[in-house]
Amino acid sequence: MQRKALKIENWSGGLSDSPLMGIKGSYAEGVGLNIHEYPHLLTVNQKLTKNSGSVVTELCKNAVNSTDGSSYWFSTTTGKIWKRTSTGTWSLIHTNANGACVGAKEWDDYIYFASNAKLGRYGPLSDSAEWTDSWNNLTSASFHPMEVQSIYLIIGNASTVATVDDTGTFTANGTSLVPFISLPSNQIIRSIRKFGGDILMGTYSTDNNTPAMLIRWDCVSQSYLSDPPDIPETSIQTIITQGTYAYVIAGNFGKIYYYDGTTLVPFKIIPGDYTSSAYINCYSEAECKFLGRTCFGISNGQGNSTLQGIYSLGQHDRNYPIALNLDYPISTGEISSLDIGVLLVIDKDLYVSWKTTTNVGIDKIDWSLKQENAYIKQLVITGDREKSKIFRDFVVNYKSKPSGTNLTLDYYANYTNNAEEIFLRDKSTDYKFIGEQNIPCGALQARLTFTVSGNNAPIVESIYITFDEEQTL
């Protein structure tokens, strides 16, 4: 027998490419943990707590943080619109007679909101605001995303763009100064984002066969600026701009692309088991910047192909890799069979609209509570795969373990889905947990779970595992 040891003390690589392989510092699965704030340490994120009570009764996929001090949340099911005041009071303020909202944005003292074929608005916000549900007509579409650029509110209008300029003039195709040459009729604009002085628009193909298009438009030309980059997907779910570049989540199989202003290249894949009956959704407004990280909500399309919640792309600083992580489950703790409708940052707080099979609500980041049952599942340890092994020693070194908190270590032997707990004793004089067992198997995967107490949680420094390996096959 040969004694071998593995020490895990770096998680800055984020989610791995598979349970067996990833970049340095990556792990197979993780929920609710902060891998960026303190390099070499594993800490627990704040949790999301439901903020809307029983007032909000339907999933919202659009929201506006208004200059009047309130936020407005738009139902994707009916025409209901809820208001949250700056003091945290929720109310149903209006019901759009034209039905579900498919786009909303504030512009020039009005909040504009779109239904399938109508553009409504609420305002003026500075003086006796009134609701007008049918202010103008739009081309019928399931999405009318909106963005403000220059002197225009840009609105996705099926295969073209509509605008409202700074004089309040509505134009159904282009701007009041120049028409926009429509996209092919099978391309429907699903997502719009500001990109420098231009606009980026992502489409989906109605025939579910033709590749989607990523369009860059300068708002003054009759057509987009150049040939759009090739993309082997039939839908662009959302665009997340980052100044001079952008992330593009496209298709339903977890693909994240990197756009440098000209070309589009594969960047990351959200781990999952994807098939034609098991895939994800990422709604256009389910993205934001929070705590220096790019956050986006992953929803279940069908079949629960991957864990769902608020993911992030981030790094401690430029010397670390850009890592993918599942930062925040919703307040119920569920990570499957759910929808994340919209992410909205108000001041220093993150708000998340969601829907499960039995519940619906809007969460707010809770600065007084840590995430319950946060966990990390490491890469599978195979050693020399051809040789038999006995896993023996398990050590979890911690920086702190406040009163009422704890750490639990489980293992999965030979790729089983059934976890077995490793009994750990706390050697508090050395700030470490120690477990001694004999586990004969060819491959082992460890999972560490954090027990929190209010706003306190353990901080982990490293995990150390030893195993004896046969010298013969």
- Please write the tens of the pLDDT for every residue from 432-441: 999 999 999 9
Average pLDDT of 236-259? 96
Q: What are phi and psi of 346, to 5 degrees?
A: -120, 115
Q: In DSSP terms, which residues pair with 34 in a beta bridge?
A: 43
Three-state DSSP at 271 gives: coil
- What distances in angstroms separate CA 50 from CA 176, 343, 452, one per listed residue? 43, 14, 19
Higher confidence at residue 369 or residue 471? 369
For residue 288, give Cα distances in angstroms to 142, 181, 238, 285, 318: 22, 30, 11, 8, 20
Confidence of residue 170 (pLDDT cuts 50, 70, 90): very high
Whether the Cβ atoms of residue 240 and residue 249 lie closer than 8 Å to each other: yes
CB 235 within 8 A of CB 190: yes
> What is the Cα–Cα distance from 22 to 17, expressed in whole angstroms?
5
pLDDT higher than threshold 80 for residue 471: no
- Residue 37 falls in which region: left (phi positive, over 0), alpha (psi -120 to 50) or beta: alpha
pLDDT at 473: 67
347 with 325: CB under 8 angstroms?
Answer: no
Mean pLDDT of the region 327-335 = 98
Say whether pLDDT at 227 is over 90. Answer: no
Torsion sign (Cα): 260, 263, 265, 268: positive
Mean pLDDT for the chain overall: 96
- 272-283 residue pLDDT tens: 999 999 999 999
- What is the C-alpha to C-alpha distance for residues 287 and 191, in angstroms, rounded to an integer? 11
Strands 360-370 and 349-355: antiparallel
Residue 1 has pLDDT above 80, yes or no: no
DSSP H helices in 57-123: none
Can you give the pLDDT at residue 225?
79
Hey, which bits of 138-283 come out as E strands?
146-149, 152-157, 160-165, 170-171, 187-195, 198-205, 214-217, 236-241, 246-250, 255-259, 264-269, 279-281
In whole angstroms, give the CA distance from residue 177 to residue 27.
Answer: 53
pLDDT (mean) for 283-305? 97
Q: Rounded to an integer, what distance in angstroms lies between the CA atom of residue 134 and that of residue 292? A: 39
Give the domain ranges of the chain. 2-45+375-469, 47-367
Query: Above 70 in pLDDT, residue 10?
Result: yes
CATH code reported for the domain at 2-45+375-469: 2.60.120
CATH number of 47-367: 2.130.10.10
CA distance 450 to 106: 41
Task: Answer for the pair 172, 148: CB distance below 8 angstroms, yes or no.
Answer: no
Q: What is the mean pLDDT of residues 71-84?
A: 97
The three-class DSSP label of residue 430 is helix
